[in-house]
Amino acid sequence: MGAKTILTLEQFEQLPNEDDMQQELDEGELIVMPPPKPGHGRRQTKVASLLGGFVEKHSLGVVYTEVGFILQQDPWTVRAPDISFLKASRATLVARDAYIPGAPELAVEIVSEFDSAPRMMRKVNQYLRCGGHTVWVVYDELRQVHVFETAGTSRVLREDQILEAPELLPGFSIKVNDLFD
C-alpha cells in the first residue's frame, strides 16, 4: 500500500475540476465524488427549500448548499455538506470568496449510492467534533432522518415522526414524510 498524498488548502484550491466532480479534503487526503443523481438533487432541493424558507422568514441565519467548511488545519479538512445552516450572528462574518471556518451549526447530508456508512459517520463525527451542533443524515430510500447532536444523543426518525431542532431553529417542526413528497 502506497503512502497517501497529503494536500494543503492552497493545493486543494488550485486543483482543476473539469468533470464537475465534487471534491473535499479529509485530513489532507483528496476525496472525489461523482456528481449527484437526480433523486439526490430533488431531496437536496426539497430540504433546502423547507429549511431555507423557515430560516429566512424568521431571520435566523443563512442556509447554504454545498459550501465548503474548514473543519481542521494541518492536515486540512474541508467538507461541503449537502445543506448547511449558520446562525445569523455567525453568517454576517462569512467572506464571500473563502471557505467558512468551523463547522456549520446544522449540517445535512443526503445519503447517495456512493456513500458508505463508515464514511458518513466520519463526516458526522468531524462536524460535531469541530463545533457543529446538529447533523441530519437523510436516507431517501428508507425515508428516514438520522439525527446526531453534539451532546452525544442520536435518534432515527421515521416518516410519521417530527423533525425539529429547537435550540437552533425555534418553531421549525416538520413531519419527516414531508421531506419525501
Domain ranges (residues) in the chain: 35-179
> Backbone phi, then psi, for 129, in 5-degree steps?
-70, -25
Residue 152 pLDDT: 92
User: Pick the residue with more confidence: 21 or 88?
Assistant: 88
What is the C-alpha separation between 147 and 103, in angstroms, rounded? 16
Which grid cell is 91?
Answer: 453568517
- Rounded to a whole number of angstroms, the CA Rg of the chain reads 16
Which grid cell is 70?
Answer: 474548514
Res 17 pLDDT > 80: no
> Backbone phi, then psi, for 75, in 5-degree steps?
-80, 155
Query: Is residue 81 very low, low, confident or very high in pLDDT (cuts 50, 70, 90)?
Result: very high
Which grid cell is 17?
Answer: 475540476
What is the C-alpha separation between 68 and 104, in angstroms, rounded? 10
The dihedral sign for the CA sequence 28, 102, 129, 136: negative
Question: Domain spanning 35-179 has what CATH number?
Answer: 3.90.1570.10
User: Pick the residue with more confidence: 154 or 18?
Assistant: 154
Q: Average pLDDT, stretch 2-21? A: 84
Reported pTM:
0.95
Res 2 pLDDT > 70: no
Best CA proximity match to 28, nearest among 9, 13, 14, 15: 9
Q: Average pLDDT, stretch 39-46? A: 94
